Amino acid sequence: MSNPFLKWDTASRREFMLRTAKTTLGVSVLSHLDKAMGAAEPAPAGKGGKAKAVIYLYMGGGMTHIDTWDPKTGETKGAKEPISTNGNMQLGGYMTNMAKVADKITVVRSMSSKTGVHEAGNYLMHTGYEPRGTIVHPGLGSWAHHFLGKVQKTLPSSVVIGSNNASSGFFPPAYAPVPIGNPDAGLQNIKTTVGEDSFNKRLSLMNEFDTAFRDKFKSADVKAYNEFYDETLKLLKSEDLKAFDLAQEPAETKALYGNSGFGKGCLLARRLVQNGVRFVEVGMGGWDMHNNIDTAMSTTGATMDMVFAALISDLKRTGLLDSTLVVMGSEFGRTPTVNENGGRDHYPKVYSTVFAGGGVKGGYVYGSSDKDGREVADKQVSVQDYIATIGAAMGLPVDKVVFSPSGRPFTVGDKGSVVADIFA
């Protein structure tokens, strides 16, 4: 008789295992295990790249470039005057904290995209590909997992905090980032819902029932099924889980980041990369500022400014800045002209991204927009270039072709060009 389990796709088998683990053992934990679910052997790492880890700060909604990283003085000027910095640049008047660490950042002022729609722009800024109904593309954390393998035995290779960008694309589900909704709560469902004695009895009984099945069906899927439990047990007992616990941080460090969700997310990101997680995304919404942009920038913008500067300072203090690339991006910019509601609308023609640490230059501006921030004036950077540049900073072979299960060829950043000038 045929076994329908063997006909399931990877995602279906993974869901089956998660449900079985919860029912049988009393545990409910997201699998991020290398060996589980038929994960491929890692490909050789690419040459170059100083960044051992990446923290991707994603500003959901479309961050205004004129009020942050590319201020103007003419008719499109924001409510606040541009301010001087300790780097070779001016920033928007709301960026008072970032002005003090501008000597540690590179601003790319010549980003350009072809989409002004939130969902498509968000997908593009995470994968380098336009969304297609026939395939889901991997993000950078999953690409890194494929090429470089896991960083260590227990913690995940990548994590997303306050964001829903947790897909592995066409790679195995084991390569998907682990999602954290609440930084204060950390990694959820990591403890058994039964006592230790009951847990061990259930595990022993399950192994007894499974022995005959494993002996009969010696496939990679069945092996992964068994290893899933073994690796989950290691995770449950690991001291490395303390990396997810913000309570371990001293009060003065918590105060540096503030009490916002974004601040706590960035503090957690620092803890995670410090403990060996390779790729962490921290999301911050509130940037779709169609109305009263001055008010919105005084709240959302001020929070971003404080937290971003705190993260750079903290990474410098802990000796992690040189090996950690911090990058900030958004799906597009906002219109140079303020609308009738005192806000700015979607604007993909030109916008800005920011890089810090990980071998990039400090106090450096790459590319430019015109005097009103309406067009790219010099050194246009596509989203594909942006993704490829981050990948290259991590040491990924961005030109190496990888075939999806359907046999279609893909590269990191869809053949984008690495912006090598931003690296020191």
- pLDDT tens profile 64-86: 999 999 999 999 999 999 999 99
Q: Is the pLDDT assigned to residue 30 strictly greater than 70?
A: no
Question: What 3-state DSSP class applies to 182?
Answer: coil
Same domain flag for 320 and 404 = yes
Q: What is the mean pLDDT of residues 259-270?
A: 98
Q: At what angle do helices 140-148 and 383-393 cross, to 10 degrees?
A: 40
Q: Is residue 367 part of a domain?
A: yes
Report whether pLDDT(359) > 70: yes
pLDDT value for 11: 45
- What's the sign of the alpha-carbon dihedral 124, 127, 128, 132? negative
What's the mean pLDDT in 369-393? Answer: 98
Does 45 map to a domain?
no
Mean pLDDT along residues 281-303:
98
Give CA torsion, residues 193, 197, 200, 202, to 10 deg. Answer: -70
Residue 201: its pLDDT value, please?
A: 67
Q: Given this model, what pLDDT does residue 167 score?
A: 87
Q: Please, are residues 112 and 376 in contact by the beta-carbon 8 Å criterion?
A: yes
DSSP string, 303-326: HHHHHHHHHHHHHHHTT-TTTEEE
Report in angstroms the alpha-carbon separations of 160 from 24, 85, 128, 177: 28, 31, 18, 6
Q: In this predicted structure, what is the pLDDT of residue 362?
A: 97
Sole residue written with tokens 């501008």: 102
The reply to whether 313 and 391 lie within a common domain is: yes
Task: Report whether pLDDT(187) > 60.
Answer: yes
Mean pLDDT computed over 351-373: 97
Region of 189 on the Ramachandran plot (φ > 0 left; ψ -120 to 50 alpha; else beta): left
Cα atoms in the 13 Å half-sphere on the side-chain side of 151: 21
Per-residue model confidence (pLDDT) at position 217: 64
Q: What is the pLDDT of residue 70?
A: 98
Among 202, 237, 272, which residue terminates a domain?
Answer: 237
What integer is the mean pLDDT of 407-422?
96
pLDDT category at 235 given cuts 50, 70, 90 is low
Considering the domain boundaries, does residue 40 fall inside one? no
Q: How confident is the model at residue 69, as a pLDDT?
A: 98
Domain extent at residue 226: 4-30+194-237
Q: Which pTM value belongs to this model?
A: 0.84
What percent of the chain has a predicted confidence (pLDDT) above 90? 69
Model confidence at 174, pLDDT cuts 50, 70, 90, reads confident
Q: Name the pLDDT band for 1 (thresholds 50, 70, 90).
A: very low
Does 254 score more than 90 pLDDT? yes
What backbone torsions phi and psi does residue 105 show, to the nearest 5 degrees? -125, 155
CA–CA dist 328, 107 (Å, integer): 10
Asked if residue 42 has pLDDT above 50, the reply is no
Q: Are residues 70 and 168 in the same domain?
A: yes
Indicate if 361 and 386 belong to the same structural domain: yes
Write the pLDDT tens digit of every residue in 383-413: 999 999 999 999 999 999 999 999 999 999 9
The lowest-confidence range among 151-155, 290-294, 355-359, 411-415 is 151-155
The total domain count for the chain is 2
- CB count in 10 Å sphere of residue 184: 12
The predicted structure's pLDDT at residue 173: 83
Provide the residue type at 281 as one letter: E
Is the distance from CB of 106 to CB of 355 less than 8 angstroms? yes
At 153 the pLDDT is 81
126 with 268, same domain? Answer: yes
Return the H-helix or E-strand segment holding 302.
Answer: helix 302-317
Residue 407 in any domain: the answer is yes
Shared-domain flag, residues 204 and 268: no
pLDDT of the residue at 239: 79
CATH of the domain at 415: 3.40.720.10
In a domain, 37, yes or no: no
Which residue from 270, 301, 199, 225 is spatially nearest to 15, judged by alpha carbons? Answer: 225
Same domain for 336 and 412, yes or no, is yes
168 & 202 share domain: no
On whether residue 36 sits in a domain, the answer given is no
The answer on 201 and 254 residing in a single domain is no
pLDDT higher than 50, residue 37:
no
Residue 104, classed as helix, strand or coil, is helix
DSSP secondary structure letters along 342-401:
B---EE-SSEEEEEEETTB-SSEEESEE-TTSSSEEES-EEHHHHHHHHHHHTT--TT--
In a domain, 88, yes or no: yes
Q: What is the pLDDT of residues 46-65, one digit of tens each?
A: 344 789 999 999 999 999 99
Same domain, 199 and 278: no
For position 214, what pLDDT does the model report?
A: 64
Could you tell me if 128 and 227 lie in one domain?
no
334 and 371 inside one domain: yes
Q: Is 423 helix (H, G, I), strand (E, B) or coil?
A: strand
Provide the 3-class DSSP secondary structure of residue 410: strand
- Residue 41 inside a domain? The answer is no
Query: What pLDDT is attached to residue 186?
Result: 81
For residues 321-343, give the mean pLDDT: 98
Residue 360 contacts by C-beta under 8 Å, 6 or more apart in sequence? 105, 106, 325, 393, 422, 423, 424
**C-alpha dihedral sign at 326, 249, 300, 92:** negative
pLDDT at 24: 47
Q: Summarize the confidence of residues 211-224 as an average pLDDT.
A: 61
Per-residue confidence band for 172, with pLDDT thresholds at 50, 70 and 90: confident
Non-local (6+) Cβ contacts of 149 within 8 A are 34, 42
Strand 158-161 with 279-284, pairing: parallel
How far is residue 26's CA from residue 190's CA, in Å, rounded to a whole number? 10
